[in-house]
Amino acid sequence: MSKKTPGQSPRENYRNAITEKEWTVETLRNVGYHMIADGGAKVINGVGSFIGNHQVRVTSPNGESKDYEGTRIIINTGSKPIMPNIDGLASNKRVFDSAGIMNLKELPDKLVIIGAGAIGLEFATIYNNFGSKVTLIENAQNFMPAATRAVADHVRANLEASGIRILTDAKVTDVKDTDRGADISINMQSGQVLNVTSDAVLVATGRKPDIDRLNLNNTDIKLTDGRIDFNDHLETSVPNVFVEGDVKGGPQFTSISLSDNRIITDYIYGDAKIGVESEQSVFPTTVFLNTPLSRIGMTSDEALHSGKHVGIGHLDAGDTLRSRITGDETGFMEVLVDLDSKLVIGATLYIDNAEEVINLIELVMREGLPYTSLMNMTYTHPVSSEMLFFLLNDLKELK
């Protein structure tokens, strides 16, 4: 989305990108609609809620309601942003979630992002690339707390070098709307109070299952801590009522939603041989920064304390031909191997094309193939994936 047209101002580039985004979203919605409707399904526009275990009431945009009964029901209502309890935040017209901010027609000169998870990092990168002055605020003591310190420090250094301001151990206490913009008060762990003014504020503090309007109290569907309970085939406590996608909680990725659909389809129409445990115990993720960060399986910290005899292959991006050709010499490749079983147990890729290379590693892990299968491939040249040969050919014991 942050691609630029030579000769255009940052604001013109941003307007063009938003226009293209709107066209793309509308096109995909239209394609999705016709995939369902043209396949013989009836598409009903409205808000659905349960009135019984297998009965749903749909209220149309004009307020009319109609009841339906289904032998099988799939709940796929997605997730919604978590709005933290900060004075003035929810009512401030300059505050947006990740969907709302992409409806802004004009590029904000200054953008504050509350939350430095995947959404916060990606939007910080996008808006910084367009020319916004971005401040990223993280409540946790450590930046990217789920990552190893080496990975987090590397990513942080690159983001800050690109012009993004990052505050950690920082708590937003108040947001006021003024003529100048949104005035944000931030308490630092040191006791210092910072005041930042911004044209827009993006809240990226996580998402939760969107179930409030489902009226699940009219059913026997059980919940735990606000999440719908389900079995390995994504069936809820009510037989033949299933849950898929972000609404079920857990990892919120499109790839997981597609996997959910395969599991349910196999259960209903197939042999019921696949389930959450077999399909989603290992899966890759990518944070799309200027240099993508992809991960699967264990981190080096986790592997070190796993009790396994672990080998690590590490290669800096600057040592790869592909990175020298593209000019993106940021980052590194790291693959972890159980030296006893010869199986790959994890990988972290912070390189050009990481989002593609990680899928090769997933295939090897999912199929239980030895790490040497990645070494014995004939790769095209020059590409990022061919570096797996050199990396795995020089494993060192993880200590």
Read off φ and ψ for residue 35, nearest 5 degrees. -60, -35
Assess whether pLDDT exceeds 80 at residue 25: yes
Assess whether pLDDT exceeds 90 at residue 4: no
Last residue of a domain, one of 280, 297, 329: 280
pLDDT at 198: 97
Average pLDDT, whole number, for the chain? Answer: 95
186/241 same-domain check: no
230/269 same-domain check: yes
> Would residue 168 count as lying in a domain?
yes
> Would residue 62 count as lying in a domain?
yes
Choose the catalytic residue: 54, 233, 314, 381: 381
184/135 same-domain check: yes
126, 247, 258, 262, 310 from 28: Cα distances, Å: 21, 21, 16, 20, 44
The residue written with tokens 């005041």 in the block is: 195
201/136 same-domain check: yes
Least confident of 2-6, 84-88, 126-130, 391-395: 2-6
- Taking only Cα atoms into account, the Rg of the chain, rounded to an integer number of angstroms, comes to 24
Q: Domain holding 362: CATH number?
A: 3.30.390.30
Tokens representing residue 104 in the block: 């802004």
The sheet carrying 285-287 orders its strands as: 285-287, 293-297, 343-350, 332-338, 310-316, 396-397
> What tens digit of pLDDT does each residue of 133-147 get?
999 999 999 999 999
270/291 same-domain check: no
Last residue of a domain, one of 253, 280, 307: 280
> Taking residues 274-288, what's their average pLDDT?
95
Assess whether pLDDT exceeds 90 at residue 10: no
298/344 same-domain check: yes
Tokens representing residue 374 in the block: 């990645």
What's the pTM?
0.93
Integer Cα distance of 184 and 88 in angstroms: 10
> Taking residues 65-93, what's their average pLDDT?
95
The sheet carrying 170-178 orders its strands as: 170-178, 181-188, 193-198
> Would residue 10 count as lying in a domain?
no
> Would residue 144 count as lying in a domain?
yes
> What tens digit of pLDDT does each residue of 210-230 get?
999 999 999 999 999 999 999
Integer Cα distance of 368 and 129 in angstroms: 40
> Would residue 246 count as lying in a domain?
yes
> What tens digit of pLDDT does each residue of 174-214 get?
999 999 999 999 999 999 999 999 999 999 999 999 999 99
> Would residue 275 count as lying in a domain?
yes
192/102 same-domain check: yes
170/113 same-domain check: yes
300/393 same-domain check: yes
Domain residue limits at 297: 285-397
> Would residue 248 count as lying in a domain?
yes
Catalytic residue status for 314 = no
149/194 same-domain check: yes
User: What's at 177, amino acid-wise?
Assistant: D
State the total domains in the chain: 3
Q: Domain holding 179: CATH number?
A: 3.50.50.60
Last residue of a domain, one of 233, 265, 280: 280
> Would residue 316 count as lying in a domain?
yes
